Amino acid sequence: MRIPISARSVALELLNKVTHDDSYANLVMPALLDAAKLETRDAAFAQELAFSTLRWQLTYDAILDTVSSRPVDEIDASLLNALRLGCHQILQMRVPAHAALNETVQLIRYACGEKTVGFANGLLRRVSEKSFEQWLGVIEAKTTSEVERLSVRYSHPQWIVRALQQSLLSDSRSESIDDLLRINNVPALLNLVALPGLSMRDDFRDVSESDNRYSPFGFTLDSGNPADLVEVKTGAVRVQDEGSQLAALALASFRDVAKGESWLDLCAGPGGKAALLAAIAEIENVSLIANEVQPHRAKLVSQALKAFPNVKVTVEDGRDFSNQPEKYDRILVDAPCTGLGALRRRPEARWRKSAEDLKTLTALQFELVQSAYAALKPGGLLLYVTCSPHLSETTAVIEKAIKQLAVRVLDLTAVMNERFMAGALPNNRKSIQLYTDRDNTDCMFMAMLTKEN
């Protein structure tokens, strides 16, 4: 039976693609919306419904497990996705409960078959008997630890809760764990960067909600599709979180640029930081190489740099740059990581990684730092960046580099406080850990390293 096209059917299709095909929601949704040809209001409803359901699925599964005679992990995956959509509409959207229930049951009839309708209808009616806060009280009462309670209240796997707790503790911010978990479930505003030399953010006052707090080039879009902006189509403006902008600015602005410098972005995909570096490199008349090991991501880098034909894009393993000893003045190592710092932007990311992935990731992160350090000129600048606050991916990598490579850590906090952040960063550490709840950016980690002369 063919499913009638609607906002809810598009949302279910997205969830099924994420579940069955390991698709990335932000990449798949535009194509689904284009194919469905929904009106603007319905398209916005589909995206909010799908993305928020992805974020809250652990909590919804706990609620469904309470009302179901069958364990949630034994429910067919597509049916479970539809039930999660129903939970979100009933509990957290401005949809009348009867309408949410009826529309979801009708969707299930088309998508999963008549035999599932009675089961689904019974579960969703039980769900509608309590408010979201009441259900949180029910499922929290079953937990046996604070980590488990936070996990079900804010829909984060327990290993992520522990990692965020440890990071906050290291920065004497333990009391902020609820705020950090909560904000990961709030969709981020659409943030853009006006690349210097090609555009100015003052030109977007009619569509901009506000300037970024710290980046002199960043602004948020109040509404609409950024792809409709001519400057986005030409590459003069890009969608980019302010934290990523600050990382590129940290490398480019840590000290004055000398004539003839050579810069390297070692892990450039998909190209956001490389584009901002390229814009600054062109103004400073220095060379930039943007490298990416994966060919499909290298293509994205080339697209991001279409306005900068002088930037060379290479497709090499970043660990092989140790074969180019002491060649570069500034190197950005934006290392592959768990992505725990961008959970509000990537709704399915918290379900994609596990604590077991860390061993492989941290080994790769150090190998990339090791390679970049070999390729760095004496006295040069090496910026290590991860979009994660996990201590294993941040300070632990730097501590290992200090011991094994004899790197020196420079005071990036002092420089960024003076040049961009107006003293907002705590000055008890040289490296920087941004926090979404405090800084309104992704949780970027940055450490500036150098090689002694």
SS (H, E, C) 52-97: HHHHCHHHHHHHHHHHCCCCHHHCCHHHHHHHHHHHHHHHHCCCCH
The pLDDT, as a whole number, for residue 355 is 94
Q: Is the separation of the CB atoms in 369 and 361 below 8 Å? A: no
Output the six-digit token pair for 104: 């979801």
Output the six-digit token pair for 281: 């490199």
Question: Residue 280: enclosing H or E segment and its boundaries?
Answer: helix 272-284
- Bridge partners of 433, per DSSP, are 445
Query: Distance between CA atoms of 237 and 304, rounded to whole angstroms?
Result: 10
Query: Distance between CA atoms of 66 and 64, rounded to whole angstroms?
Result: 5
Where exactly does CATH 3.40.50.150 map onto the chain? 241-450
Homologous superfamily (CATH) for 241-450 = Vaccinia Virus protein VP39 (3.40.50.150)
The pLDDT, as a whole number, for residue 405 is 96
Instruction: Using DSSP, state whether 176 is helix, strand or coil.
Output: helix
CA atoms within 13 A on the CB side of 439: 27
φ, ψ (nearest 5 deg) of residue 308: -130, 75
Output the six-digit token pair for 406: 């004899």
- CATH number corresponding to 7-134: 1.10.940.10
The pLDDT, as a whole number, for residue 309 is 94
Q: Is 443 a catalytic residue?
A: no
Residue corresponding to tokens 């008349």: 285
- pLDDT tens for each residue of the chain, 453 residues long: 567 899 999 999 999 999 999 999 988 999 999 999 999 899 999 999 999 999 999 999 999 999 999 999 999 999 999 999 999 999 999 999 999 999 999 999 999 999 999 999 999 999 999 999 999 999 999 999 999 999 999 999 999 999 999 999 999 999 999 999 999 999 999 999 999 999 999 999 888 889 999 999 999 988 778 888 999 999 999 999 999 999 999 999 999 999 999 999 999 999 999 999 999 999 999 999 999 999 999 999 999 999 999 999 999 999 999 999 999 999 999 999 999 999 999 999 999 999 999 999 999 999 999 999 999 999 999 999 999 999 999 999 999 999 999 899 999 999 999 999 999 999 999 999 999 999 999 999 999 999 987
Q: Is the separation of the CB atoms in 288 and 357 below 8 Å? A: no
Q: Quick: pLDDT tens for 392-413.
A: 999 999 999 999 998 999 999 9
The pLDDT, as a whole number, for residue 227 is 84
φ, ψ (nearest 5 deg) of residue 79: -65, -40
The interaxial angle of helices 272-284 and 242-253, nearest 10 deg, is 30
Where exactly does CATH 1.10.940.10 map onto the chain? 7-134
- Burial class of residue 44 (count of CB atoms within 10 Å of its CB; 0-12, 13-18, 19+): middle
Query: Distance between CA atoms of 190 and 206, rounded to whole angstroms?
Result: 15
The pLDDT, as a whole number, for residue 1 is 57
Candidates 267, 337, 387, 443; catalytic one: 387
- Burial class of residue 419 (count of CB atoms within 10 Å of its CB; 0-12, 13-18, 19+): middle
The pLDDT, as a whole number, for residue 296 is 95
Q: Quick: pLDDT tens for 160-201.
A: 999 999 999 999 999 999 999 999 999 999 999 999 999 999
Interior angle at CA 56, CA 51 and CA 60, nearest 5: 125
